[in-house]
Amino acid sequence: MNNGKKRYWDMLKVHESVACVLYNTSRDVLIFVKQFRPGTQLKEDFIPYCAVFVYRALSTGSTTTSIEVEGQSVDWDKVSPNLGITLELCAGIVDETLNLNEIVKKEVLEECGYEIPSENFQRVTSYRTTGISGSKQTLFYAECTDQMKISEGGGLAEEGEFIDVVEMSIPQVRNLIQDEQVTRPATLLFGITWFLMNKV
Amino acid sequence: MNNGKKRYWDMLKVHESVACVLYNTSRDVLIFVKQFRPGTQLKEDFIPYCAVFVYRALSTGSTTTSIEVEGQSVDWDKVSPNLGITLELCAGIVDETLNLNEIVKKEVLEECGYEIPSENFQRVTSYRTTGISGSKQTLFYAECTDQMKISEGGGLAEEGEFIDVVEMSIPQVRNLIQDEQVTRPATLLFGITWFLMNKV
């Protein structure tokens, strides 16, 4: 209530999340995931708020779907699908009552296919986004071996996840910091620089 | 149009931005800014989408303003104001026709009070957020001296900015990576680790 008058604000429910810098010691590679994120696909200043709806429309094959942005239609044929692909740390939403080590262990198994004991996940730190949301992410570090690879990974089909597992050598990872052709978030860059400083 | 039926999505206009790792060589300190970000103040899973409206309501002193989240009223008296304070890199929106070096130079002067030649700003890299927006931020690095300090900084009053300039020594900055008591984004942590790896 403000001076007796009720006002409304749009609210966004944002879950806490976990992410993991995952290092395969058998082959000296870091493990990342590639995801489809339609929000990164449009030009700089027009970003879909509800990207997931656009994505659903596209993935259900409704090719006649048109998106209008301030009265102008977005021509999907002129938008490279590669632009919507991002390289990220393995990560997941905290939507369960499990502790964070159990949740990150579960995400690494689902997305990357490695079965790692939950006590092997080292908590690095946590941080918050400062844009419109403010959600907290806790970063972990874990080492794995080829013997721990028990499935393909790729995410849960029933949750509609489209995830590719990507392996990168240490020199490739160093290059990735400067490589602006690859769409990647600051969280990945922080994870990489933290790893290079503390584990190499 | 989807099967002849027009549908609407909420869209969020997100501007490209610049940020700067700022190092004062006269006193061996990094320069950050403290800002009030109401979005980080609420508990994990309820974040105001239009935080700016809440902020305006609070800053105009309407203490009777109540925010309801899913039918439950948020009690501002129980929310520590310190939780809404974030430590960040000096940064700004790209809303002008100037080149990025000129824009970052202007932001550093407005927020931190240092007049640094635009050619002294080294482009580090750029990255994108991967949440609901997808906006691009370009990161710069610049060194300054006490002689370049020509004003208090603090942001433009007419833009409603409330910014404190914060100086931190290299050991303090190292500690900040682990210090989860301080609300800071992954972009700040990446900026710090990049600096420690490349400039110390």
Residue B153 vs residue B21, higher pLDDT: B21
Length of chain A: 200
Alpha-carbon gap: A50 to the closest alpha carbon of chain B (Å): 6
A5 inside 8 A of chain B by CB? no
3-state secondary structure B157-168: HHHCCCEEEEEE
Nearest CB to B134: which of A39, A57, A137? A39
B176 against B128, higher pLDDT:
B176
Question: Which pLDDT does position B145 carry in this prediction?
Answer: 98
Euclidean distance between the first and the last CA atom of chain B, given in angstroms as a whole number: 56
Query: Lowest mean pLDDT: which of A32-41, A133-142, A171-180, A185-194?
Result: A32-41
Tell me: do A66 and A141 sit in the same domain.
no
Q: Are residues B102 and B193 in the same domain?
A: yes
Q: Give residue B65's domain range.
A: 51-79
What pLDDT is recorded for position B50? Answer: 30
Q: Which of B193, B159, B154 minimizes the C-alpha distance to B33?
A: B154
Q: What CATH number is given to the structural domain containing B151?
A: 3.90.79.10
Chain segment A89-121, per-residue pLDDT in tens? 999 988 778 899 999 999 999 999 999 999 999
Summary mean pLDDT of chain A: 77
pLDDT reported for residue A64: 39
Q: Determine the pLDDT at residue A78.
A: 56
Judged by CB atoms within 8 Å, which residues 141-170 of A form the interface with B? none
The ipTM of this complex is: 0.76
Where are the extended beta strands (E) located within A6-144?
11-12, 17-24, 29-36, 47-48, 67-69, 72-74, 85-88, 90-93, 122-128, 136-144
Q: Are residues A58 and A127 in the same domain?
A: no
Cα A39 to Cα A52: distance, rounded to the nearest angstrom:
9
B200 lies within 8 A of chain A by CB: no
Residue B166 sits in the same domain as residue B186? yes
How many Å apart are CA A172 and CA A182, to the nearest integer? Answer: 12
In chain B, % of residues over pLDDT 70: 63
Contact A165/A27 with Cβ under 8 angstroms? no
- Whether B177 and B106 map to the same domain: the answer is yes
Both B60 and B143 in one domain: the answer is: no
Which residues in A lie closer than 8 A to residue B3 (C-beta atoms)? 62, 64
Q: Taking a C-beta distance cutoff of 8 angstroms, is the pair B94, B18 a contact?
A: yes
B40 and chain A in contact, CB less than 8 A:
yes
| Rounded-to-integer distance, Cα B161 and Cα A191, Å | 31
B66 lies in some domain = yes
Is the pLDDT confidence value at B136 over 70?
Answer: yes
In this structure, is residue A12 part of a structural domain? no
| Residues B156 and B124 both lie in one domain | yes
Asked if residue A10 belongs to a domain, the reply is no
From chain B, pick out residues whose CB is under 8 angstroms from the CB of A129.
129, 131, 185-186
Look up residue B173 and give its two tokens: 């900055």
pLDDT of residue B196 exceeding 80: yes
Q: How many angstroms from the chain centroid is the CA of residue A102?
A: 18
User: Which residue type, as a one-letter code, is found at position B104?
Assistant: V
Report pLDDT digits (tens) over A11-69.
Answer: 445 678 999 999 999 999 999 999 876 555 544 333 332 333 333 334 444 443 445 54
Instruction: Please count the other Cβ atoms lying within 10 Å of the Cβ belonging to residue A119.
Output: 8
A200 touches chain B (CB under 8 A): no
pLDDT of residue A183: 87
Q: Which of A10, A15, A189 sits opposite B127 (nearest CB)?
A: A189
In a domain, B68, yes or no: yes
A98 and A73 within one domain: no
Q: Taking residues B167-179, what's their average pLDDT?
A: 96
DSSP state of A1: -
